[in-house]
Structure 1
Amino acid sequence: MGSSQFKNFMRCEAAALAEIRGEYQREVTDALLVGSYIDAHFEGTLDVFNAQHKEIFKKDGELKVQYRQAEKMIQRAERSELFMQFMSGDKQVIMTGGIAGVPFKIKIDSYCADKCIVDLKCVRDFQLIWNSEKQQRQHFINYWGYDIQGAIYREIVRQNTGKTLPFYIAAVTKEAEPDLDVLWVPDDDLDSSLETVMNLVPRFQQIKEGKLTPQRCEHCGYCRFTKVLTAPRNYHEDCEVYEVE
């Protein structure tokens, strides 16, 4: 299992299993491709990426506007000495291990041996994001589960090296004038996130093995795609009621 698959199971068990079985595929959006474009640049594999994704080019061979913006984000990142210092480690380092008896595989964007683990992220901006399920605004690191990813990475690196290294997010925004930052995820946060992983991953593994029935979230694209109507509903079920004193 990888961190992305684990987070998919956290969002919707049914959708995650359907993806693994090839029964459902999430839409590949421009936002995802822009992130992959920037990842490929820092990996040194941009030529391969361009060859595999002709859709990012216009008919005249120029990059579409989203990917010209990606170039601007790259240029902004490369003007920052600190940002590039954190991105100067070994690229796409693969390590394997296990958590709660479940095999894990990770791929690190920038691994600075004996110093730190760095993951590159492209985000819309640095504003807090509203989480409708939890009814609160969250930092993008928590909203997108990057603290979970960091906990998995730190633990697998520890198993391979014997060292517990700090985890950083090197982030650049997709704004017209890109912003950037290097963010440290505190060890206490990673400890808590690792507990979450250890508690949930045995169930997720059993679902993968067909031993448990996955739960549906009833909100994601997969659940909408496979939704079966059985009877009319009272629309009041969808209304939130607030008491005013």
Structure 2
Amino acid sequence: MPNSAQHRKEGVRTEMRRRAFALAAALIRIARAGQGIAPELAAALRRSAIEITVAVEDSDSEHNAILVRAVRTSIALSRLAVEEGILSYFDCNTITSAGESFLKFLDKTAEVLQGEAGLQLQDLFSADLQKIKVAAKSGNVEMQEKEEASPLQHVQEGQGEDTEAQQEGLASYGESLAGENKSATAANAAKAEMRQSILLQHIRRSTRPAAAGAGEQEGCRFRDLQEFFPEVSERTLRYDLEKLVRAGLVERLRHGRGGTYYRPVQRGAAAEAEEM
């Protein structure tokens, strides 16, 4: 193997370890000092951290499967925990962001690491990744060390009997990209839905009934919501609140210089029972 290719592979391995250790450290930190974290959840996060730390040091297919499974488990646990109110949204976002970023890194670098003894990332990711690899091989697409030519460039060069295979490779490549875009859109929509659900729960918990003779209940200030969701941009938070307002779940109140407040819409007992 050329030295440059070997150095590239070693660089990818080093970055993989760095990202894995960063994620494991975050899991251990949250398990130890998370805001109101349940003991069972803390133990599960610690187990995932240990599995990630151990598995990243080996390159066989079994350990790579353990690595990906541990990352996905930590993401799933954090999302479930925040919905149950036993993990803060901030800690959940820390885990999911680091975990998803790590999985994307593994996906993107699978081609670089392919051929390493026992490393079979193709078994761990979607069939779309395999389609791209098969199409690239059938179209005689060669990986360049400094610059990788796209399937379109190879088709335009018109290399005799390979042209039809290259066109098939381009079509498969385009379909794969379209599939990835759809998956990303679906993932973003799921994140937004989860974020809005947590936001609604927080507003309901924070809004107490007004005392007798004290007028209407006040609700949550937008400024307080920003402090509770520090990792969410102001634009995104306003978008989520607007979605809840339009859905009839939250109402917006203005109190002059005191800022804007949000409070849950009062519902009847039947509606409460149906939601339960």
Same fold flag (TM > 0.5): no
Larger relative contact order, structure 1 or 2 (CA cutoff 8 Å, min sep 6): 1
- TM-score under structure 1 length normalisation: 0.28
Q: Name the structure with the higher helix share.
A: 2
Larger Rg: 2
